[in-house]
């Protein structure tokens, strides 16, 4: 079977230890997670865990079946990779003297990011986008010495316009 990228959207009870249960399932099966993100939903009693993984369709069916056996899992569904919006957030502090700032401003503008802070010797940059956008801006900004970086896991929602 063909190995492809899959997105699992897992709705869980919002309580301590649930994330450990979910990640433990993957650990027990020695399966790698490409990206994982978790956050509360509009219902404070629920959270959603978004997992992106590579595998066969059979792998995905098996994981989904195993997930649904866990007591705190409410729903586990696949989101079609090519019919969804996928985003992640990057916060990045780069070294920047007064001569470099104009070039950095230009790069950040092209990628739709924003500057959150400027100090005498650095700039704090915020960018969100798909994986390709994040990797591209990182590549462009590497020459400015990355001082600090935080990158979230990817989150996704299925497009509703696909039926039109």
CB 125 within 8 A of CB 91: yes
CB 131 within 8 A of CB 90: no
Least confident of 6-10, 35-39, 79-83, 139-143: 79-83
CB 91 within 8 A of CB 124: yes
46 shares a domain with 24 = yes
- Report d(CA 49, CA 66) in Å as an integer: 15
Q: What interhelical angle do 57-68 and 18-28 show, nearest 10?
A: 140
Element (H, E) at 55: strand 46-55
How many domains does the chain fold into? 2
User: What was the pLDDT predicted at 163?
Assistant: 56
53 shares a domain with 99 = no
35 shares a domain with 59 = yes
39 shares a domain with 9 = yes
115 shares a domain with 59 = no
The more confidently predicted of residues 57 and 49 is 49
Show the domain range for 91: 87-158
Token pair belonging to 137: 């801006």
Quick one: average pLDDT of 16-40?
Answer: 89
CB 117 within 8 A of CB 123: yes
Question: What mean pLDDT, rounded, does the chain reach?
Answer: 92
Quick one: average pLDDT of 7-31?
Answer: 91
164 within domain boundaries:
no
Q: What is the pLDDT of residues 98-156, one digit of tens each?
A: 999 999 999 999 999 999 999 999 999 999 999 999 999 999 999 999 999 999 999 99
Token pair belonging to 4: 């492809």
């Amino acid at each position: 079977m063909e190995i492809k990228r899959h997105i699992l959207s897992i709705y869980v009870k919002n309580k301590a230890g649930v994330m450990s249960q979910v990640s433990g399932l993957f650990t027990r099966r020695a399966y790698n997670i490409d990206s994982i993100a978790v956050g509360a939903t509009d219902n404070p009693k629920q959270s959603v865990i978004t997992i992106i993984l590579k595998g066969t369709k059979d792998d995905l069916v098996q994981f989904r079946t195993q997930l649904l056996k866990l007591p705190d899992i409410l729903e586990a569904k696949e989101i079609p990779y090519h019919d969804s919006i996928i985003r992640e957030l990057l916060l990045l502090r780069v070294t920047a003297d007064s001569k470099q700032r104009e070039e950095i401003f230009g790069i950040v503008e092209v990628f739709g990011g924003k500057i959150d802070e400027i100090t005498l010797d650095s700039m704090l940059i915020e960018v969100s986008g798909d994986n390709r956008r994040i990797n591209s801006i990182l590549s462009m900004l590497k020459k400015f010495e990355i001082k600090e970086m935080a990158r979230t896991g990817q989150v996704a929602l299925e497009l509703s316009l696909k039926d039109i």
